[in-house]
Structure 1
Amino acid sequence: MINKSYFGGFILLGFSGLPQLEMIIFGVVFFFDTIALTGNTAIILLPLWDERLQTPMYFFLRNLAILDLCYTTNIVPQMLVNVWGKDKKITFGGCTFQLFTDVALCTVECILLAVMFYDRFNAVYKPLHYVTIRNPQLCQGLVAMTWGIGITNCMIFSLYAMSLPRCGNHHLDHYFCDIPVMVKIACVDTTAMEETLFALCFFIFLAPLLLILVSYGFIVIAVLKIKSVTGRQKAFGTCFSHLIVVSIFYGTVIYMYIQAENSSSQYEGKLLSIFYSVVTPSLNPLIYTLRNKEIKGAIKRLTGKEKVPVETAGH
Structure 2
Amino acid sequence: MRGTNQSRVSEFLLLGLSRQPRQQQLLFLLFLTMYLATVLGNLLILLAVGTDSRLRTPMYFFLCHLSFVDICFSSTTVPKVLASHILKSQAISFSGCLTQLFFLCVFPTMDNFLLAAMAYDRFVAICHPLHYTTKMTHQLCALLVGGSWVVATLNSLLHTLLMARLSFCADNVIPHFFCEVTPLLKLSCSDTHLNQFMILYVAGLIMMAPFVCVLVSYVFIACAVLRVSTARGRWKAFSTCGSHLAVVCLFYGTIISLYFSPSSAHSTGQDMAAAVMYTVVTPMLNPFIYSLRNRDLKDALRKVLTMKFVSAQ
TM-score by length of 2: 0.89
Distance 1:189 1:300 in 2: 56
Instruction: State the shift of 1:230 in Å.
Output: 4.2
Instruction: State the shift of 1:55 in Å.
Output: 0.5
Instruction: State the shift of 1:77 in Å.
Output: 0.3
Instruction: State the shift of 1:182 in Å.
Output: 1.5
| 3-state SS in 1 of match to 2:241 | helix
| Residue among 168, 171, 180 paired with 1:169 | 171
| Residue among 292, 295, 303 paired with 2:294 | 292
What corresponds to 2:111 in structure 1? Answer: 109
What corresponds to 1:8 in structure 2? Answer: 10
What corresponds to 1:203 in structure 2? Answer: 205
* 1:257 aligns to 2:259 (yes or no): yes
Deviates more, 1:14-23 or 1:285-294: 14-23
The aligned amino acid for 1:213 is L
Distance 2:9 2:77 in 1: 22
What corresponds to 2:250 in structure 1? Answer: 248
Instruction: State the shift of 1:18 in Å.
Output: 4.0
Structure with the greater relative contact order (CA < 8 A, sep ≥ 6): 1 or 2? 2
* 1:32 aligns to 2:19 (yes or no): no
Match runs of 1:136-285 below 5 Å: 136-227=138-229, 229-259=231-261, 261=263, 265-285=267-287
| 3-state SS in 2 of match to 1:301 | helix
Deviations 1:136-165 (A, max 9, x none): 111011001111110010011111112211
The aligned amino acid for 1:284 is N
Deviates more, 1:97-106 or 1:295-304: 295-304
What corresponds to 1:57 in structure 2? Answer: 59
Distance 2:174 2:108 in 1: 20
Distance 1:245 1:48 in 2: 22
Distance 1:161 1:29 in 2: 28
Distance 2:141 2:155 in 1: 21
Deviations 1:212-262 (A, max 9, x none): 111111101112223454443232123222111111111212332234557
Residues 266 and 304 (structure 1 numbering): CA distance in 2 closer, same or farther, change over 3 Å? closer
Unaligned runs of 5+ in 1: 306-315
Deviates more, 1:248-257 or 1:279-288: 248-257
| 3-state SS in 2 of match to 1:166 | coil
Residues 261 and 276 (structure 1 numbering): CA distance in 2 closer, same or farther, change over 3 Å? same
Distance 1:55 1:264 in 2: 42
TM-score by length of 1: 0.88
Instruction: State the shift of 1:292 in Å.
Output: 0.3
Distance 1:30 1:224 in 2: 44
What corresponds to 1:69 in structure 2? Answer: 71
The aligned amino acid for 1:223 is V
| Residue among 93, 97, 100 paired with 2:99 | 97
Conserved? CA contact 1:121–1:216, under 8 Å? yes
Distance 1:146 1:199 in 2: 18
Distance 1:122 1:107 in 2: 23
